[in-house]
Amino acid sequence: MALEFLKKFFGSGGSKNIAKERLQIVLIHDRADISPEMLEQLRRDMIDVITRYMDIDTSKIEMDFDRADRSVAFVANIPVIRIKRGVAPGKMEQEIPDGGKKAQPKRKPGQPG
Amino acid sequence: MDPRVIVITSGKGGVGKTTTTSNISVALARAGHKVVAVDADIGLRNLDVVMGLENRVVYNFIDVLEGTCRLNQALVRDKRVDNLFLLPAAQTRTKDAVSADQMEELCGMLRKEFDFILLDSPAGIESGFRNASIGADEALVITTPEVPAVRDADRIIGLLESMGKSPIRLVINRLRSRLVKQGEMLDVRDVLDILAIDLVGIVPEDDSVVKSANRGEPLTFGDSAPAAQAFQRIASRILGETVPFPDFSEEQGRGFFAGIRKFFGRKE
Ligand SMILES: Nc1ncnc2c1ncn2[C@@H]1O[C@H](COP(=O)(O)OP(=O)(O)O)[C@@H](O)[C@H]1O
Ligand SMILES: [Mg+2]
C-alpha cells in the first residue's frame, strides 16, 4: 500500500496523483455522512437479505461508520436468534427467478446493465 | 419540443457558472432556439454585465413575482441575436426575498414562452442554490480540475440527485493542458473517475474569457477562441448531437498522438 503510493507519487512525478488520492479519501468521508433516511433504507434492505438465512433481533441492530485516517468501514452488529437449517447458498440461488446464474462475467460496453 | 429548464450550478464559487450560462445561452439562441438566461444569483447579480446587457436592465424577476411589472417588461432582449433574452436578478435584495414556490412559479411562466430556460445559480448548498434548482429539470455542474472544487461538486451532485434532477452532467472548466501534461493537474479521466457522472464539456483555460467578460460580449458570438468552440460543443451536446471530445486526448497529456491525428486531417 505504502509502496504503491510512493510508486505512484514518484512514477509520474506530479502533484496530480496526490490530488486524486486526497480527493478519493476525503470523499469517502464526505459520502459516509449519509442521511438518516438512507441509513434507514439500508437497515431495511439488510434485514431483508439477512432474514433469508437467519432469524435476527431487529430491535437490537447497531450500525455505524468506523472512521480511520485513510479508510472508512461500515460496521453492523446484528444479534442472531436462530440460523435457518440447510439453506446452503447454492440452494438459495435456485430460488432466484433468474435461474440462479452466477455473477455475469463482465458487462460488455453498450449492453444495458 | 418540450421546454427544458437547466440549472447551471457548482459547489465552489468562481468556477465559471456565469461564464457558462452566458456562452451556452448565446450558442443555443444562434442555433435557432428561443432562450432565456435567468440570473438566479439574487443580491450578487452579474450575468447582466457578463452578457453586456446591464444598461438595459429596468426590472428584475422579483418585480415580476411581486406584481410590480409584467414578465415581458422584465425580460431584456439581446439585440445581437434573435430569440435571446436575459431575466435579471435583483441587486439590492437578499436571497430570502423569494421562496422555492415562487421560483417554481417563475419557471412555470417561462416554460410557456421559451424553448430553453437556463438558470445561473449561486454557488453553495444553501437556500439560494435550492431555490434556483427547484424549478429545473436538468443540471449542469461546473467544476475546475482542483481539489476543493471537485470535492464541493460531489456534494452538489448528491443534492441534485436527491432532488431528482436528470440528467446531471459535468462541465470541467479551466483545464490547463500544459499542467496536465506535466502531471500537475487532475486530468479529465481523474475527475470523471472521482465524480462518476456524465461529461458534457471540457473548457480550456483561455484568456479570451476574461477579455470577453470585460467587453460584455459572450465568446460564442464569435467562433475562433478555444473556449468559444468548447462552449459551442456543449450547446450541441445539450441539443442531443453526438460531438466527440476533440481535445480530450490532448488535454489528457497525449498531445503527441492528438497532433498526429490532426496532421492526418481527422475532422471534428
Ligand atoms: N475557461 C476560463 N478561462 C479563463 N478564465 C475563466 C474561465 N472560466 C471562467 N473564468 C474566469 O473566472 C472568473 C469566475 O467566473 P464566473 O463565470 O463568474 O464564475 P461563477 O459564476 O461560477 O462565480 C471570471 O473572472 C472569469 O472570467
Ligand atoms: Mg456567477
Residue range B6-18, pLDDT digits in tens: 999 999 999 999 9
- In this structure, the residues whose C-beta lies within 6 A of any atom of ligand 1 are B 10, 13-19, 173-174, 203, 205-206, 209-210, 213, 227
Contact partners, residue A86, CB within 8 Å, separation at least 6: none
Amino acid B111: pLDDT: 98
Residues B138, A25, A35, CA angle at the centre, nearest 5°? 55
Q: Kindly report the CATH number assigned to the domain that includes residue B133.
A: 3.40.50.300
Q: A33 contacts in B (CB within 8 Å)? A: none
Atom of ligand 1 nearest to the CA of B174: 1
Whether B72 is in a domain gets the answer yes
Residues of B in contact with A30 (CB under 8 A): 151, 154-155
Nearest CA in chain B to A19: B147
Residues comprising chain B, all counted: 268
- Domain assignment present for residue B73? The answer is yes
Q: Is residue B128 part of a domain?
A: yes
- The residues spanned by each domain of chain A are 34-96
Compare CB distances from B184 to A14, A24, A35 and report the shortest one's residue: A14
Least confident of A39-43, A62-66, B20-24, B37-41: A62-66
Residue from A20, A26, A33, A38 whose CB has the most chain B CBs within 10 Å, to mutate: A20
Q: Could you report the per-residue pLDDT of B218-227, keeping only the tens digit for each? A: 999 998 999 9
Three-point CA angle A58, A63, A67, nearest 5°? 175
pLDDT at A90: 53
List the grid coordinates of A2.
505504502
Residue B170 lies in domain: 4-263
Task: Answer yes or no: is B188 within a domain.
Answer: yes
Query: Locate cell 472508512: which residue?
Result: A72
Give this complex's ipTM. Answer: 0.80
Instruction: Express each pLDDT in B115-173 by its tens digit.
Output: 999 999 998 888 889 999 999 999 999 999 999 999 999 999 999 999 999 999 999 99
In a domain, residue B131? The reply is: yes
Stated pTM of the model? 0.79
CB contact under 8 A, A23 and B146: no
Min distance B268 CA to chain A CA atoms (Å): 23
pLDDT digits 0-9 by tens, B249-259: 444 434 444 44
Residue B268 placed within a domain: no
A24-32 long-range contacts, Cβ below 8 Å, gap at least 24? A24/B194, A25/A70, A25/A71, A26/B147, A26/B151, A27/B151, A27/B154, A27/B194, A28/A71, A28/A72, A29/A67, A29/A72, A30/B151, A30/B154, A30/B155, A31/B154, A31/B158, A32/A65, A32/A67, A32/A72, A32/A74
Number of domains in chain B: 1
Classify residue B151: in a domain, yes or no: yes
Q: In the structure, what pLDDT confidence band is assigned to residue B248 with cuts at 50, 70 and 90?
A: very low
**Predicted pLDDT of residue A89:** 55
Longest dimension (CA), chain A: 57
Q: Is the pLDDT of residue B97 over 70?
A: yes
Secondary structure (3-state) at B48: helix
Question: What's the pLDDT at B93?
Answer: 81
Distance between Cα B99 and ligand 2 center (Å): 20
Residue contacts between A and B (CB atoms, under 8 Å): 42
For B17-55, how does the pLDDT look when each residue is reduced to its tens digit (9 = 90+)?
999 999 999 999 999 999 999 999 988 899 999 999 999
Q: Cβ distance B9 to B139 under 8 Å?
A: yes
